[in-house]
Amino acid sequence: MAPHAGEIYGNASGSHGAARAAKNALEEARERTAALLGAQPLEILFTGGGTEADNLAVQGAALAVGRRRGVVTSAIEHEAVLETAEVLSSLGCPVSLVGVDEAGRVNPGEVAEFVTEDTAVVSIMSANNETGVVQPVAAISKAVKESHAGVAMHTDAVQSFISRETDVDDLGVDMLSLAGHKFGGPKGMGLLYVRSGVGLEPVLHGGGQELGRRSGTHNVMGAVGLATAMEATVADRERFNSRVGESRERFEAGLRRSIPDLEINAPLDGRLVQHSHVRIPGVRNETLLVRLDGRGLAVATGSSCQSGAATISHVLAAMGFDDQRARQCLRFSFGWTTTPEDGERAAEMVVAEVDGLR
């Protein structure tokens, strides 16, 4: 990224030599990211992160062609989708929320039942950002398309890209959101894949960049960093899944040995390898979080965007957790630098604090 912070500093929308150098770097990054997703370069829009990508996908589709059409999504989506749907509802767009089972999984048939002739877009995340539960996106897309072929299918793949193969055709999606910071790319940089032919009303208006779909001066440095991080992620996935899987296994095994009433809030065979979402009965999550933070172990009580919020997680509420149970849950996340020994040490820290609190 460094050269694009200094010597290659032109505006990619300009016509002079400095601008062309920036433009070349931008379009090369677009080609690189598209290839990793099984997409075409012009189907990639660079955004200011996953939140903007989600907003553009849902709002852009619902308001395309000057109409106000419907949105179908699930009760466990990221706030970037749910709050966008809420705004659209206030504008007169019909919005339907699909529930989940006690494991936090969305049923493809139930999604299809909510789709009508007035639905513009269905948005179901690839995997939940709190629990790590993987959703059957390909099956959902198939059910939706069989019901109403013209409905656009969007998935927020922000959490899943680092550990799961991500191909837009295999998933059957028309739009897909990514955020760079989830896999080692720059913060505040993301992308939205938009299948050719899908109409979008821009969220940002102005100079008409990104084929008129997202105005604003391009963050060339960010796009180059995003593409590089994506390539590194794909090359590292096999090692990542093996190494992180062992780390999480040692972590959860350590907890189980000393906390026999521990509950894991996700199907063991249907979650992302980098998530461990647990309930420790009788222990307040916020108290445990503060104590673990004092030991240098960073954990969360909800999504990263919600940590510290007074209300309980909407994801756990949708899964049927009451207030008391939800306030005994913590999310532990594992990254590409995590070692198996880290998992063991983290478990020792948790056990020590739980013993003290109990």
Compute φ and ψ for 46, nearest 5 degrees: -85, 135
SS3 content of the chain, % helix, strand, coil (to 5): 45, 15, 40
The two most distant CA atoms of the chain are separated, in Å, by 68
Q: Is 93 a catalytic residue?
A: no
Q: In the structure encoding, which two tokens stand for residue 65, read together?
A: 């062609």
Strands ordered across the beta sheet of 70-74: 44-47, 190-194, 175-179, 152-156, 119-123, 70-74, 95-98
Q: How many CB atoms are located within 10 Å of the residue 95 CB?
A: 20
Give yes or no for a contact between 72 and 115, defined as CB atoms under 8 angstroms apart: yes
3-state helix/strand/coil string of 144-201: HHHHCCCCEEEEECCCCCCCCCCCHHHHCCCEEEEEHHHHCCCCCCEEEEECCCCCCC
Query: From CA 155, how far away is CA 49, in angstroms rounded?
Result: 15
First-to-last alpha carbon distance for the chain, in angstroms, is: 49
Q: How far is CA 201 from the centre of its chain?
A: 22
Give yes or no for a contact between 62 and 69, defined as CB atoms under 8 angstroms apart: yes
Catalytic residue among 5, 211, 253, 305: 305
- What is the secondary structure of 1-40 as a DSSP string? -GGGGTTS---TTS-SHHHHHHHHHHHHHHHHHHHHHT--
Tell me the catalytic residues: 305
